[in-house]
Amino acid sequence: MPKRGLRVTALWFFLVPSLALIMTFFFLPVVLTVLISFTDMTQTFEWHWVGVQNYINIITDPWMPKIFKNTIFYVFTTLVCFNVGLALIISLITTHINEKVGAAFRALWLLPRITPSTVYVLLWLWATRDKSSLFNWLLSFMGIPPANWALSRPWLLVILINGFVGVSFGMIIFTAALKSISRDLIWAAKVDGASTWQQIRYVELPLIKWPLLFVTAYQTLSLLTSYEYILIATDGGPGFYDTEVWALHVWHLGFKQYGGMLHLGYGSALAVFLVIMGVVLSVIYLKIFRFKELMVEPKIEV
C-alpha cells in the first residue's frame, strides 16, 4: 500500500486542476455577484457601495411589473403547451404506434435541441416573415392573412421557438417512464376490455405521475432562466420590453448600454433575485414532490 504522503500527492494531482477552475470561474462569480449587487458598478468597474438601493430599485422600477408579468406568462404558457403538454402527447402517441415509426418521430424532435441556437432561430424568422415565407404561405390556404410574426405576434413566435426546443426533454423522460410500465398491467387492462383511451387514462397516466411532476418542476426552473432564443429572435421587442423576460433583462442591464452605461450593479441585484426565485421554487418542489423519489434513473432507453 502506498504511503500517506504519496496518497496526498495523488489526491492533489487528481482534484486540484478541476477545483481551481471551478472555484475561480464558478464559485467566486457567485460570491462576486452578491457583492456587486450592493454597488452601482458600471463599465469602469469601480466599487461604490450603495447598500440595498438596487433592491429598492427593483421594487420601484416602473418597468419591473411588466417584465415580471412577461416572465410568468412565458414560463407558464411554454411549460403547459410544450415542455409538458405536447411532450406528454407525443410520448403517448409514439409509444402506442409501431415502435420504429415512433422512434423516428421522437428522433426528429431532437433536431431543434441540437441545432445551434442562431441557426434554429433564423429558420423560424425566415418562415414567418412576409407573405411568401413558409408558414405564412401555408396558413394563407386556411385563410389566415400573412404577417411578420416577430412584429405582430411576438409572443406566439417566442413561445413556438422555445416550445419546439423544450419538447424533447419531457418527451425522453415520459417515453422512458411509459416503456418501463409492466406489460402485465397493460394486458390486464386490455383483457378487461379497456379502450386505448381508458388504458392511458386509468393505467398509464397514474403510473407516470412522478416523472410528470419532475419534468414540470425541472422545466419551470430552466425556463425561468432561459433567454438565449428570445435574445436572438426579438431581443425583448418589438416594442419597449414587449417580450423582455427577467433573465434577458439581466443580460441587457449588464451588456447593453442604456444612456451610455452598463448597469452592472442593478443587473447583479436582478440576478440575485432570479436565483432566490429559483431556490424558493425548488425548495417548494422538494417539499411537495419529494424530489428524491423522482431522481431515479430511467431504466429503459428511449
Partner 1 sequence: MSWKRYIGSGLMYAFLVAVTAPVVLLYALLFITSFSTNVVGLMPQGITLKFWRIVLSGEIKVPGAGGYYYYPNLYLVMGNTFLLAITVAVSEVILSSLAGYALSRFKFRGRPQLLGLILVLHSFPGVALLIALFYILNMMGLYDTLVGVIIIKIALDLPLDVWIMKGFFDGIPWDLEMSALIDGCNRIQTWWKVLLPTVRNGLMAVLIFGFLSGWSEFIYILTFISSQKYWTLSMLIYALKSSEYMYVSPALTAAAAIIYMIPVIIFFLTAQKYLLRIQIAAKGVV
Please report how close the Cβ of residue 52 comes to partner 1 at its closest, in angstroms.
18
The answer to whether residues 113 and 168 touch, using CB atoms and an 8 Å cutoff, is yes
- Which residue, 123 or 284, is less far from partner 1 as judged by CB? 123
Give, in order, the Cα–Cα distances in Å from 192 to each of 97, 187, 195.
Answer: 21, 8, 9
- Which residue, 112 or 154, is less far from partner 1 as judged by CB? 112
- Which residue, 111 or 185, is less far from partner 1 as judged by CB? 111
Please report how close the Cβ of residue 62 comes to partner 1 at its closest, in angstroms.
23
- Cell 457601495 locates to 49
- Which residue, 21 or 280, is less far from partner 1 as judged by CB? 21
- Which residue, 27 or 63, is less far from partner 1 as judged by CB? 27
Cα–Cα distance for residue pair 121/228, rounded to 1 Å: 10
Q: What share of the chain is helix, strand, coil (3-state, %, to 5)?
A: 75, 0, 25
Please report how close the Cβ of residue 169 comes to partner 1 at its closest, in angstroms.
6
Which residues share a beta bridge with 49? 39
Please report how close the Cβ of residue 5 comes to partner 1 at its closest, in angstroms.
12
Please report how close the Cβ of residue 69 comes to partner 1 at its closest, in angstroms.
19
What single letter denotes the amino acid at residue 299?
Answer: K
